[in-house]
Amino acid sequence: MNNRIAASERLPALMALATGMGIVGTSMTANKFIVGHMPIMLASAARFAIASLILLALIRMVEGGLPRLPGRLHLVMLAQSFFGVFAFNILVLLGVDMTTATISGIITAMTPAMIAIISFTRGDRLPGIAWIGVALTIAGVALVNLLATPSEQAASRPLLGATLIFLAVIGEALYTILGRQVATEVSPLSIATYISFYGLAMFLPFALWDLRHLDPGTIPLSAWLAVAYLAVFVTVIAFVVWFVGLRRIPASTAGAFTGMIPITAVLSAWLILGERTGWAHIGGIALVMTGILMVASGRGRQIPVPV
């Protein structure tokens, strides 16, 4: 009887993990509707303002409000916000404007491999299977950028764009690594709420500067809808369903679901943006997903968190 109950809970949890990372993968396509149509600082500030309000309402309903935390934890979350929210979103928006959403999504999926590499430089030991996974992930990203060169119309400066997305991946990896210092003392929902507020505070001065000579009415509706989608679905819903899944599924298994990112990135870019997908993209995704599986099996708890 207990086994049947465990099995009935496992499938919804697995679906929650897949849904969470699947939503994250669509963010590159949403970003394409923002770049060139809306100042990136204003877009990011609006995104995290919406997300902060939703998260604040959620935490009041679920936990009764934000907890008071010692200064050292706030410093860690400030650093997380800088690397994983402020720097990450600026680099992604600049990068996706120069390359395709497809390539951007595939590069972003290598976050677990980057976490493993940075952790190794900080003294963590990596098993052999994790190193093989890192190598396969890097090979997949290299394959896409070397053999799947997009047209000039689809990507104005693909190599520079890919480099910026790669730097954003480093920021996301640092965000996750720093999160280890907070995760044992603060609930995931509290962390997400604080980090969203800190991210908003970082973007807000630049957003106000952008508004000095900007008529918000000139921004197309599609850009505002993309901002709302990123706030509600990517920042809030993806986070919530991801942690719903983590309550039932071991972290070592959950890490493999980051492989959903390149799949939904490619599908959404093809369906919505009309970006073409070739064999180099498929081969790159296969290598990245295989690498993620190996890194996840070797790293266990070292998995990224959607923000």
pLDDT in tens, 46-103: 999 999 999 999 999 999 999 999 999 999 999 999 998 999 999 999 999 998 888 8
- List Cβ neighbours of 100 (8 Å cut-off, separation of 6 or more): 150, 154, 155, 158, 269, 275
**Domain encompassing residue 215:** 29-299
| 5 in any annotated domain | no
* Residue 251: pLDDT over 80: no
Give pLDDT tens digits for 167-201: 999 998 888 888 777 877 888 889 889 999 999 99
Assigned domain for 122 exists: yes
What average pLDDT score do residues 277-288 get? 83
State both tokens at 274: 């009309």
For residue 252, is pLDDT > 80? no
In a domain? residue 142: yes
The stretch 132-160 carries a mean pLDDT of 77
CA distances from 163 to 43, 80, 142, 215 (A): 22, 21, 11, 32
Return d(Cα 79, Cα 74) in angstroms, integer: 9
Res 8 pLDDT > 50: yes
Please provide the DSSP assignment of 18-78 as one string.
HHHHHHHHTHHHHHHTTTTTS-HHHHHHHHHHHHHHHHHHHHHHHTSSPPP--HHHHHHHH
pLDDT at res. 18: 86
Instruction: Answer yes or no: is 24 within a domain.
Output: no
Tell me whether residue 11 is in a domain: no
> How many structural domains compose the chain?
1
Instruction: Classify residue 67: in a domain, yes or no.
Output: yes
* Mean pLDDT of all residues in 286-300: 75
Q: Is residue 12 part of a domain?
A: no
DSSP designation for 214: -
Q: What average pLDDT does the structure give for the chain?
A: 84
Instruction: Supply the pTM of this predicted model.
Output: 0.83
Q: Read off the tokens for 94.
A: 């600049």
Residue 141 forms part of a structural domain = yes
Predicted confidence band at 253 (pLDDT cuts at 50, 70, 90)? low
Say which residues have a Cβ less than 8 Å from residue 233's Cβ, sequence separation at least 6: 23, 26
Q: Model confidence at 38, in pLDDT bands (50, 70, 90)?
A: very high
235-269 CB burial, b ≥16 within 10 A, e <16:
bbbbbbbbbbbbebbeeebbbbbbbbbbbbbbbbb
Q: How confident is the model at residue 1 (pLDDT cuts 50, 70, 90)?
A: very low
Q: Report pLDDT for 72.
A: 92
**Which residue type does 280 have?**
A
Q: Which of 14, 32, 15 is nearest to 265 (CA)?
A: 32
pLDDT-based confidence at 145, cuts 50/70/90? confident
